[in-house]
A = this chain, B = another copy of it.
Amino acid sequence: MARRPKKPPMTKESLLPRLAAHVLAHGLGQASLRPLARAAGTSDRMLIYHFGTKEALIIDLLQHLAGIYAAQLDNLLAADRPASRQALLARILAHNADPAMAPFLTLWWEIVAGAARDLPGFRAAARAMVDRLHAWLVGHMPAGDPDPDGGASYLLTLIEGSLMLGALGQGDRARAGLLAAGLIAP
């Protein structure tokens, strides 16, 4: 058959959310066209038709994921401003500890690995997400902070280090480090 009579035609934009759901559940490394297509309710044939290439699909998908992350940050308690760097750090750590974030974090390290190897699209997406988090941190630094930009970079480094240790199941150690530095409450 051909053009579906009632169903609106599929577009990249309509496909990307379902593709994103699939890689969030199963990872980027194992993502091959046929399973991706099944998850999106279409065929490998159509994925190539819409995206041209698997590589192009992955690039688009990574940008889409970066957009999802940005939207999440935007929705994250944008109103009030924490009173201290410690409070800000606690807030972002709590957000990352939310179980709903787990699939995203698992995927995050795959994106970092791709960025480290400079696979096409990975570094751009990873940078977009890190830049966004940095900007969020700058915008949420306590009023009167002497060095919002540098402080945000400092917190960012600590956050990413904590997340990495958390990915290994060593969140305890990260917490111990932050505690020893007086950055979180016991």
Where the two chains meet, the residues of A that have a C-beta atom closer than 8 Å to any C-beta of B are 27, 29, 105-106, 108-110, 112-113, 115-117, 123, 126-127, 130, 134, 147, 149-162, 164-165, 167-170, 173-174, 176-181
A29: which B residues are within 8 A, CB to CB?
Answer: 29, 113
Q: Is the CB of B168 within 8 A of A115?
A: yes
The 10 closest A-B pairs by CB, nearest first: A150-B180, A161-B161, A153-B177, A157-B161, A154-B177, A116-B167, A109-B113, A160-B161, A113-B113, A157-B177
Which of B149, B161, B167, B168 meets A159, CB within 8 Å?
Answer: B161
How many angstroms between the C-alpha atoms of A126 and B150 in the bound complex?
30
Chain B nearest CB from A123 CB (Å) reads 6
Q: Is the CB of A156 within 8 A of B134?
A: no
Q: Is the CB of A156 within 8 A of B130?
A: no
Q: Is the CB of A149 within 8 A of B176?
A: yes
How many angstroms between the C-alpha atoms of A159 and B173 in the bound complex?
13
A178: which B residues are within 8 A, CB to CB?
Answer: 154, 157
How many angstroms between the C-alpha atoms of A137 and B160 in the bound complex?
19
A117: which B residues are within 8 A, CB to CB?
Answer: 27, 106, 110
| Contact status of A181 and B161, CB under 8 A, knowing A113-B113, A168-B127 | no
Closest to A29 in B: B29
